[in-house]
Every structure is written in C-alpha cells, then in structure tokens.
C-alpha cells in the first residue's frame, strides 16, 4: 500500500534526508585512492551517528534464506559491481576506480535514501560519461514526477534516456517508495511504458535510482549473497535521491 505522508511526517523525513545529504558531502571529501572500503564505511558511520542518525542499512535482512544481514553502513560497489557491495578491510580503492555508494539514514522514525557514484582519482572520458548519464537519467525521470502523472512516466523517461545514450538499464532492481520503512510501495522500475502504474499524488515520497551499465544490462550475484555485478564485467554506475511529490514540481529531499 502506498502511504501519503502528512505535513508532520514530511518534516521528520526532511531531517533524515538532510543527514543523508550531509553525509555524502563528507564522503565526497574523504574518498580517495589508497583507503579501504571498510575505512570509508567506518567514517560514514561516525558521520551519521555524530549527526544524530542511525545507519539503516547495517543489519538489514537480505530476504534470502541463508544470507546474513548486510554488515555495513554503506553499500560500496566498485567498477563492475552495480549495487550492494560489502565493505571490506581487504578492498583498497584504487586510482581511477568507479565507486558507487548507497546509504540510508534513519531518524525520528523515517528514512532518507540516496546513492552517488564517484570516479576516484584519474578519470577517463568514458567513465565520466557513464557517471554523468546515470545522474542525468534521474533528472530526466523526475521531470515526470508530478501530480497526476503515473509511475510509468518516470520509468519510461529514465529507460529511454539511458538506452538512447548507448547504455544498459538494470531491470532486476528498481526504485521504491520510502518513509517509515526503507522499502515501501510503489516499486519504480528504470524502464517501462509511459501512462502505466499508479497515479502520483502529493505527499508520496519516492526513492528513484537509475542503475546503469556500460555494456549489456545482464547481472549476476556473487557468492556473498549481496553483491550484484555486470555479467560482462562492464562498468556500472548508480545515482539516487529521495523525492517528495508536491502540488507542483517534485522536491529533492536528499540534496542540500
């Protein structure tokens, strides 16, 4: 069931989303070649806790039998890893790595969810274009995130933009509603037909998150039960924000 947030709930949610954005501001300054993904994870956890929030992904259940809960504050996915990469003290971020970071902050009963992709150190035109197209796909999608439109209008805009630019759209994972729960209805695919799905109403809060591959869109899961990689080992990027549907234009809650 899709939940419509009250004014009070939206204000509480703004705080969790503001903390998410503030944490990314710190991550962008901290991430560099030579640090481990565990160092980055521990740093982000401290930032979130110092702000008064809770890292919501830590301990999140997988939903798959036999797979332990997610152990980190951040999902850190490098190069051909699309999403859900597990932080490790043995994984060193190298110069030129494409690093996707996904985090969720919990505060006052509500969640703020966002993802960013960084090119750490030396970038190439190919890597920059992948990251730029992934980010722009989000903004292409939210042009349609207005009262009276449908979920499919967002999905279609994202998918069309990504494929037009020669990239693959991951279909097995999608955006979602968000609020008191990290994942709520509705699901928001990054592809689909315009005019399909539920109508958008003011008070809906949505996490919209294009996941894009430089090669084919096929993916597979690693033995850890969490990490999703591209089947052809091509690079991937991820960009996400939590937004609010209003009477007019959508409001992006996880940008400062």
Residue 165 belongs to some domain of the structure? yes
Domain range holding 138?
7-252
CB 229 within 8 A of CB 173: no
Q: Which residues, other chains included, contact 196 with Cβ-Cβ below 8 Å and sequence gap of 6+? A: 150, 151, 152, 155
Q: Which residues, other chains included, contact 194 with Cβ-Cβ below 8 Å and sequence gap of 6+? A: 144, 150, 152, 153, 156, 157
Number of structural domains (the chain) is 1
Under DSSP, is residue 114 helix (H, G, I), strand (E, B) or coil? strand
CB 118 within 8 A of CB 95: no
Query: Cα(170)–Cα(157) distance, rounded to whole angstroms?
Result: 14
Q: Which residues, other chains included, contact 142 with Cβ-Cβ below 8 Å and sequence gap of 6+? A: 154, 208, 243, 250, 252
Predicted pLDDT of residue 63? 86
Residue 63 belongs to some domain of the structure? yes
Query: Cα(189)–Cα(150) distance, rounded to whole angstroms?
Result: 12
Question: What pLDDT digit, counting tens, does each position of 189-244 carry?
Answer: 999 999 999 999 999 999 999 999 999 999 999 999 999 999 999 999 999 999 99
Residue 1 belongs to some domain of the structure? no
Residue 132 burial class via C-beta count within 10 angstroms: exposed 0-12, middle 13-18, buried 19 and up:
middle
Predicted TM-score (pTM) of the model is 0.97
Return the DSSP state at 238.
E
- 16 pLDDT band (50/70/90 cuts)? very high
Residue 2 belongs to some domain of the structure? no
Residue 111 belongs to some domain of the structure? yes
Predicted pLDDT of residue 164? 98
**Average pLDDT of every residue of the chain:** 98
Question: What pLDDT digit, counting tens, does each position of 50-102 carry?
Answer: 999 999 999 999 988 899 999 999 999 999 999 999 999 999 999 999 999 99
Residue 80 belongs to some domain of the structure? yes
Question: What pLDDT digit, counting tens, does each position of 112-131 carry?
Answer: 999 999 999 999 999 999 99
Question: Tokens in use for 125?
Answer: 């035109």
Residue 123 belongs to some domain of the structure? yes
- What percent of the chain shows pLDDT beyond 70? 100
What CATH code is carried by the domain that includes residue 53? Answer: 3.90.230.10
Residue 233 belongs to some domain of the structure? yes
CB 214 within 8 A of CB 17: no
């Amino acid at each position: 069931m899709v939940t419509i947030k009250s004014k009070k709930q939206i204000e509480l949610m703004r705080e969790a989303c503001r903390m998410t954005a503030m944490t990314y501001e710190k991550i962008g300054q901290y991430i560099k070649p030579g640090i481990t993904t565990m160092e980055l994870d521990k740093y982000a956890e401290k930032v979130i806790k110092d702000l008064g929030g809770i890292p919501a992904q830590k301990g999140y259940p997988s939903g798959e039998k036999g797979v332990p809960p997610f152990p980190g504050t951040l999902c850190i996915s490098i190069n051909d890893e699309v999403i859900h990469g597990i932080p490790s003290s043995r994984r060193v971020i190298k110069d030129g790595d494409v690093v996707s970071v996904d985090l969720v902050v919990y505060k006052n009963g509500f969640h703020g969810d966002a993802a960013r992709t960084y090119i750490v150190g030396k970038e190439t035109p190919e890597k920059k274009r992948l990251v730029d197209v992934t980010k722009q796909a989000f903004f292409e999608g939210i042009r349609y995130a207005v009262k009276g439109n449908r979920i499919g209008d967002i999905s279609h805009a994202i998918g069309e933009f990504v494929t037009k630019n020669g990239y693959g759209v991951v279909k097995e994972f999608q955006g979602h509603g968000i609020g008191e729960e990290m994942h709520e209805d509705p699901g928001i695919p990054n592809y689909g037909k315009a005019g399909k799905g539920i109508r958008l109403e003011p008070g809906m809060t949505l996490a919209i998150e294009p996941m894009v591959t430089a090669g084919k869109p096929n993916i597979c899961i690693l033995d850890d039960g969490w990490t999703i990689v591209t089947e052809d080992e091509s690079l991937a990027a991820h960009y996400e924000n939590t937004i609010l549907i209003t009477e007019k234009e959508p409001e992006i809650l996880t940008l400062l």
